[in-house]
Chains A and B, each alone.
Chain A
Amino acid sequence: EAAVTQSPRNKVTVTGGNVTLSCRQTNSHNYMYWYRQDTGHGLRLIHYSYGAGNLQIGDVPDGYKATRTTQEDFFLLLELASPSQTSLYFCASSEGFQNTLYFGAGTRLSVL
């Protein structure tokens, strides 16, 4: 069974704060993704990566940076958090095109 682990599970920060969300997968997948889930918007892709050192821009990248340090680890960075970034964030991994995405449990972020 594929394993994607996100941390922290919950995070509260203040406007202007600095937040890092972590994701680790042990599936040996090359592809990793960051999504946010909001009521009325479904899931939207923020950033994704094909492998260590690679970063691609998704559909809603503004205000987010990401870094893929190893095949296993993918980080999402909010350097100046805003209340509009209050959301449920999911990390996912896959073998690639046409393949199933395996999702982590999610990180609920609140920006006050």
Chain B
Amino acid sequence: AQSVDQPDAHVTLSEGASLELRCSYSYSAAPYLFWYVQYPGQSLQFLLKYITGDTVVKGTKGFEAEFRKSNSSFNLKKSPAHWSDSAKYFCALEGLGNYAQGLTFGLGTRVSVFP
């Protein structure tokens, strides 16, 4: 079985501060990892993904994430944060053995950035 854990349900920070969202996963083989963002009242949008290669991946909207196999994590970062980054962020996993069977999502972290 595979799973994704986002331990922080809600993160609050001031505009200009650094944002880091935690994501850990459980999977027996090499995972493919994704981050999506959901702005209030909207659908999910793709931010970035890790498939293989460089462990730091850059995505849209100034976000980047670092894959760390040693502790099964894929944390999302942005600095500085802007008020427009207020949204819900989802980490997701696709397993090598689950060909195109969709993504397993974490519960999400809601981010509030105050001006």
Q: Which residues of A contact B (CB under 8 A)?
A: 31, 33, 35, 40-45, 48, 50, 56, 58, 90, 92, 94, 96-98, 100-106
A56 with B108: CB separation less than 8 A: no
Docked CA distance A96–B99 (Å): 8
| Min CB gap A39→B, angstroms | 9
Given A40-B107, A42-B90, A90-B102 contact (CB < 8 Å)? no
Q: Does B17 contact A (CB under 8 A)?
A: no
Docked CA distance A101–B102 (Å): 8
Given A31-B100, A105-B43, A98-B105 contact (CB < 8 Å)? no
| Min CB gap A31→B, angstroms | 5
Which one of B20-28, B44-52, B76-84 contacts A? B44-52
Q: Does B42 contact A (CB under 8 A)?
A: yes
CB < 8 Å neighbour of B100 from A41, A94, A100, A103: A94
Docked CA distance A92–B80 (Å): 31
B102 with A48: CB separation less than 8 A: yes
Interface centre among B51, B94, B101, B103 (most CB of A within 10 A): B101
B49 with A101: CB separation less than 8 A: no
Chain B 74-115 interface residues, beta-carbon cutoff 8 Å to A: 90, 94, 99-108
Interface centre among A43, A96, A105 (most CB of B within 10 A): A43
